[in-house]
Structure 1
C-alpha cells in the first residue's frame, strides 16, 4: 500500500467534484499523489482530466428511490462497477479513498472496503444523499458541512468540517471583473448564477425584470449551457454567459449581491466571500429537497434571503433585492462572525487521523 497515494471519487454533477478540486492542491503540497475513479461519461471526467490527474472510469448505475425500468438493469451495472473499482484499487494500492458522493462513488467505496483500504466521505447537504447513506457503512469517517447533519449519521462517524472552498475563488479582482464585463457605469453589480446546468425559471424571471433592474444595477447573468438570449446581447449593463471558469473569481469579486441556487458548495463560497445573497433553492418537485434545507439553514443563521421557486416572480424578486440592499451591512457582519469556515484544513486533518489509525 502506498502511504502517499489517495484515490478520490465523486461525480454526476459538478457539486460532487468541486470540493475535491479544493482539496487536491493542499494534499499535493503535503506530498500525496492523487488519482481519480469516476464514470465513463460524467461531468467529473472532463473536470479531473483538465487537472492532469490520472483518471479511471468504471461502470455506474443510478440507484433510484422511485420506480423505473432501469432499476432492473442498473444493479448489474453497480455490481460490475464494484468489481472494476476493486480491481483498480488493488492495482493502484492507495492508502485511502476520499469520496464526495454521487452514484459513481458507491462502487468505489465498496471496492476500497473489499481491499481493506480506509474510506473518508464528505456530505455537502444537510441530509445525506442515498449514495452517502450506503457508503457510510463502509466509511471510517463522514465529514459534514452543516451542524444539522450530525444527527443523521450513526456510529459516531460524523465530523463537522464545513466544505472545502477552492483557494483561487478567494483571489478575484473587482477591477478585472468589471473590465471583463465592460460595464460603463458605477452601479452596484448583481451576479445571477443558476447552478452548473442553469435554471429556466431564474433566467426567465431575471430577464422579465431586466428593465427595472437595469435602472439601478449592472447584471452579470450566468445562465447555463444553451440558455443565452441573443436579443439581449447588446443591452447596456447586462452581460450573459453560458458557463464561466477562470472568470468566476473576478465576477464574484466585482459583485455586490448574488442571486443563486442553494447547492452547498455555492452557498459556502458566498459565505466565505461574505456576499449578501438571495437563494432560490431547487423545488422539491425537481430534487430531493436538499437545497431547500440548505437555504433555510442559511436563512436561520442570518446569511441569506430565501425565495422559494414556487413564489418567484418579478415583483417578489425586486422587493427582496431592495431588502437585501437595505440590510447589506447586517448580512456582511453576520457572515463575518460565522464559525462555519473553509473546510479544507479540517477535512485534511480527518484524512490524516484516519491514516494514522490505519
Structure 2
C-alpha cells in the first residue's frame, strides 16, 4: 500500500513555497499527496497545477491579535475547519502531516492530533508565529530555520535545519529573463517585491522615484494583486502583479533586490547572493517577525534595513543607492556562508516521523 502525506499551510506565498519544494520528492517516491487549504487562498492558486496532488478545502478563520467583530464568528469557522479536516484525515488515513503554518494549518494540525497522525511543523521566522505557537503542542517535531528559534520550542521537538531554498530558483536563465522583461544587457537590474500580497508604501516610493531610478537601473516591479499602474509606461520598467514560473529567470538578471523581510524570500536572496535593501513590515501591521529577520541578516552583513516608520521617498532613494555602492561587500559576505541541505534534512525527518 502506498504511503500518504498531507501538506497544509497558506494565507501568503511564504506559507506555501516550502511545501512546493517538498511535494515533488514525495510524488517521485510514489507517495499519495493531498493538500489541505482554504477555498480561496493563495495556497489553492499555487498548487492547482501540481499533477497528482489532491486539494481539499476547509473552513478557516483568521487569528487576530486586535479587536474585530469577526473575532466572534471566526472561532466557529475554525471549529468547523477542525471537524472537516479531522473527517478527511480519518477517511484518507495519511501516514504524516507536514504543516508550513498560516491560519489554515491550525485546524489540520488539530485534526491530525485527534486522529493520532504525526505532524511535522516548519517555522521559517526567528520566532514562531501565532498559528504555529497554537499548533506546536500537537506536533511531533518542529523544524527551525534560525538556530535562535530553538529557544522557543520544547527541546524534544525542535530540530534546526536551516533554510529551504527551492532548487528551481538556482536554475534561472538570464537570457529568458531579459526576453521576458524586454531589457538590455547593458544596464543593471533592480527587482522590487513586497511579498505575494504586495506592499503599497514600497510601491509608492518606487513610483515617486522612477525617473531618477531609471537613469541608473532597469526595474522589475512586482507590485501585488490589483496594485499595477498601467498608465506608467517607461523603457526599462516592467510591472507584474505576481510571478511564479518566471521568478528564477527574473532573479537571474537582478543585480539588487528591494523586499519585505519574510524569511523564505530573504534566504532565497542569500542563496543567490543578491544584495538587499529590506523594508520589514512594521509592528503596527505584524507581530514584528520581519524586523527580527532583517536585523539578523543586517548583523551578518548581508543587507541594509530601512524600517517602515522611517520610509519616505527621499530616504528610500538614499538607502537604495547606498546598498548599490556597497553591493560588492554584501555579495562577498553572502558567498562566504555555507548553507546546509535543509531540504534533505526535512524530507528525511518527515519520512522518519511517518515510520
TM-score of the pair, normalised by structure 2: 0.95
Residue 180 of structure 2 corresponds to which residue in structure 1?
180
Matches within 5 A, 1:1-358: 4-52=3-51, 53-184=53-184, 186-233=186-233, 235-341=234-340, 343-356=342-355
**Distance of 1:200 and 1:72 partners within structure 2:** 29
**Distance of 2:201 and 2:340 partners within structure 1:** 31
Question: Moved runs in structure 1, 4+ residues, more than 4 A?
Answer: none
Give 1:276 deviation, angstroms.
0.8
Give 1:58 deviation, angstroms.
1.4
Q: Mean alpha-carbon deviation: is it higher for 69-78 or for 121-130?
A: 69-78
**Distance of 1:256 and 1:10 partners within structure 2:** 31
Q: Which runs of 5+ in 1 are unaligned?
A: none
Give 1:136 deviation, angstroms.
0.5
Give 1:337 deviation, angstroms.
1.8
Q: Secondary structure at the match of 1:296?
A: helix
CA displacement 1:131-190 (0-9 Å, x = unmatched): 111110010110011112111112431111123222211111112211211124611111
**Distance of 2:64 and 2:314 partners within structure 1:** 37
Contact kept? 2:195, 2:260, Cα under 8 Å:
yes
Give 1:323 deviation, angstroms.
2.4
Contact kept? 2:178, 2:185, Cα under 8 Å:
no
CA displacement 1:250-277 (0-9 Å, x = unmatched): 1100011111111111111101111111
Contact kept? 2:190, 2:220, Cα under 8 Å:
yes
**Distance of 2:107 and 2:49 partners within structure 1:** 24
CA displacement 1:2-39 (0-9 Å, x = unmatched): 66210011111221111100111122233322111111
Instruction: Give the number of equivalent residue pairs.
Output: 354
Contact kept? 2:120, 2:350, Cα under 8 Å:
yes
Contact kept? 2:221, 2:237, Cα under 8 Å:
yes
| Structure 2 CA distance for partners of 1:302 and 1:352, relative to 1, 3 Å | same
Contact kept? 1:3, 1:95, Cα under 8 Å:
no
> RMSD of the TM alignment (CA)?
1.6
Q: Mean alpha-carbon deviation: is it higher for 135-144 or for 158-167?
A: 158-167
CA displacement 1:283-329 (0-9 Å, x = unmatched): 11111111111111111111111111121223322332332223222
| Structure 2 CA distance for partners of 1:91 and 1:306, relative to 1, 3 Å | same
**Distance of 1:185 and 1:54 partners within structure 2:** 42
